Amino acid sequence: MIKSNLLVKITRILRGIGKRMIERTWRLGAGARLFFLTIIYSGESFRRFHLTLREIYFTGVMSMMLIIVSGFFVGMVLALQGYNTLQKYGSSEAIGVLVALSLVRELGPVVTALLFAGRAGTAITAEIGLMKTTEQLSAMEMMAVNPIARVIAPRFWAGLISMPILATVFSMVGILGGYLVAVPLIGVDDGAFWSQMQANVDVRADIVNGLIKSLVFGIVCTMIALFEGFDAPPTAEGVSRATTRTVVISSFAVLGLDFVLTSFMLVV
Amino acid sequence: MDRTTIDLWVGIFVALGVAALLGLAMKVGNLTSSKIGETYSVTAAFENVGSLKPQSPVKSAGVVVGRVDNIRFDSKSFEAVVTIKIDKRYAFPKDTFANIYTAGLLGEQYVGLEAGGDDEALKNGDKISKTQDAVVLEKMISQFLFSKASESDSKTKEGDAASVSKPADSKSSSGKSTELGDAAF
């Protein structure tokens, strides 16, 4: 009697694990399928480029203010904290290198991607989820308009184009913020700040690698947001859950991928 | 929203991105400073290159005149062979000294060229024969301890040698110090 009870419990736990595993794998496969369908049907988003431009406006231009302000403050804090530590070793002139390298290599792409997932990703998920709930997507299919070509692909390309631009602006504004704190406020030498930075930041190894990172994050964040919206259950609760999942999964994906990309870039 | 307004904003957005990228490349990165036009390469053998790396600067009188191209180990002479690329605009005499210096106490290492007096100039593929190794801190400390312990005679001799002609004797003195340093331990 006890033995069979235990067996039932174990099978229930195993069944739970199996169910989750199958569901996750299914979602991963469905996401990959949506990604390839988006690539295949993306001809229209270039033929009718104003569709993509509209989405660039909503994902990129509208996120600009957030990116500029956060970049500015991140740069200022980096300069303050960095100066505090570097000054103990008598190398406060290296503050420019510290600010520039941490922004261009890591913080620029990563923080921008996290902000992008929160600002633009959620909007995409909620919009597409609501389109699905109100049966706009089905209506499109009825009119022989492919919703992937008309709705998904322009948003995908918009995210892919916006993300590197936003990350670059973030890094540049952050460096300006760091400059403002380091030079006029703290009194680090102006020439040393820029010349040490120029001597140690490499265009290929640092700036281009940062751009590659932000491009990958752009693809991943936009794709997660699109898939969560496209896959959301057509209820109010379903859309809200999908929006939450977009932020959570995007953040995990960005931070995890950042480690993988960095380890590849530093080895090669 | 009007389509032309959207076009305008997206245009501003993209222009801002391009401007930021240009700013990063020009003002922050080394695109402007690392641009060396035509170069010729020469090699130099060092017993110890320290933490010299490819792309490290090559300076003469403090001005960047080239970059380190590659560093390999010669298993016949057990020396490091450093290939450096020098800008075609700058010609150096055949008996130029190549030294490895450190910028600041903890800074990066670079190759310093000190021109000699030869009439002939270095050509592509030439070898700089007069070199001085990177300073190894442990070696210097052991040298210092040894010279403290030895009589003042050798100390004054070394001091004289350094003051007469620095580059010529520093090679021999560093070679000597290795032996002495090893003997001390």
The ipTM, to two decimals, is 0.79
Smallest Cα–Cα separation from A61: which of B20, B13, B18, B4? B13
Report the alpha-carbon distance of residue B138 to residue B149 in Å, rounded: 17
Q: Which domain holds residue A83?
A: 41-267
Q: pLDDT, tens digit, for every residue of B128-170?
A: 888 888 777 788 888 888 888 886 655 555 555 555 544 444 4
The partner residue sitting opposite A168, judged by closest CB among B3, B24, B33, is B24
Buried b (16+ CB within 10 A) or exposed e, A239-267: bebbbebbbebbbebbeebbeebeeebee
Strands B109-114 and B127-128: unpaired
Query: Residue A118 domain-assigned?
Result: yes
H helix or E strand, kind and range, residue B85:
strand B79-87
Q: Could you say which residues from 69 to 108 on chain A have a Cβ atom under 8 Å away from some Cβ of chain B? A: 89, 91, 100, 104
Tell me the shortest Cα–Cα distance from B70 to chain A, in angstroms: 16
Sign of the dihedral defined by the CA atoms of residues B145, B148, B151, B156, in that order:
positive
pLDDT at residue A67 is higher than 90 = yes
Q: Which of A53, A165, A207 sits opposite B7 (nearest CB)?
A: A53
Residue A32 falls inside a structural domain = no
Of A107, A103, A115, A217, nearest to A160 (Cα)? A217
Q: Within 10 Å of residue B170's Cβ, how many Cβ atoms?
A: 17
Q: For residues B58 and B126, state if they share a domain.
A: yes
Q: Are B67 and B107 found together in one domain?
A: yes
Residues B24 and B60 in one domain: no
Asked if B48 and B117 sit in the same domain, the reply is yes
Nearest CA-CA distance, residue A64 and chain B, Å: 8
Count of CB atoms situated within 10 Å of the CB of B154: 13
* A61 neighbourhood in chain B, CB within 8 Å: 9-10, 12-13
Asked if the structure places residue A36 within a domain, the reply is no
A7 domain residue, yes or no: no
Q: Which domain holds residue B26?
A: 1-35
Same domain, yes or no, for B8 and B72? no
User: Residue A36 pLDDT more than 90?
Assistant: yes
Distant-in-sequence, close-in-space partners of A35: CB < 8 Å, separation ≥ 6: A223, A227
The CATH number of whichever domain residue B116 belongs to comes to 2.40.30
Residue with tokens 């820029």: A194
Residues B95 and B156 in one domain: no
Q: How many Cβ atoms from other residues are within 10 Å of residue A21's Cβ?
A: 10
B49 and B123 part of one domain: yes
Chain A positions touching B7 (Cβ under 8 A) are 50, 53
Mutate to test the interface with B, among A45, A48, A49, A53 (most CBs of B within 10 A): A53
Q: Is residue A190 part of a domain?
A: yes
Same domain? B90 vs B149: no
Number of domains in chain A: 1
Distance from CA of B118 to the nearest CA of A (A): 32
Please tell me whether residues B79 and B94 are part of one structural domain: yes
* Chain B touched by A68 (CB under 8 Å): no
Cβ–Cβ < 8 Å for A252, A217: no
Last residue within a domain, chosen from B132, B156, B175: B132
Per-residue confidence (pLDDT) for residue B110, from 0 to 100: 85
Q: How many angstroms separate the CA of residue A121 from the nearest CA in chain B? A: 19
Residue A193 has pLDDT above 80, yes or no: yes
Let me know if residue A31 belongs to a domain: no
Pair of tokens at residue A83: 């100066």
Residues of chain A positioned with their CB less than 8 A from the CB of B57:
199
Residue-wise pLDDT for A2-17, tens only, equals 678 889 999 999 999 9
Residue B175: pLDDT above 60? no
Candidates B17, B27, B30; nearest CB to A199 = B30
**Does the distance separating the beta carbons of B13 and A203 come in below 8 Å?**
no
Instruction: State the count of interchain CB pairs (< 8 A) between A and B.
Output: 84
* Residue B182 pLDDT class (50, 70, 90 cuts): very low
Asked if B11 is an interface residue toward chain A (Cβ–Cβ < 8 A), one would say no
Same domain flag for B66 and B103:
yes
**Same structural domain, B55 and B103:** yes
Count the domains in chain B: 3
Candidate from A23-27, A53-57, B138-142 with smallest mean pLDDT: B138-142
The Cα-based distances of B106 to A6, A90, A91, B57 in angstroms read 65, 10, 9, 16
Mutant choice from B10, B63, B106, B109 vs A, greatest count of A C-beta within 10 A: B10
Question: Are residues B64 and B120 both part of a single domain?
Answer: yes
Instruction: Give A 111-170 residues with CB within 8 A of chain B.
Output: 162, 164-166, 168-169
pTM of the model: 0.73
Closest alpha carbon to A108 in A158, A68, A146? A68
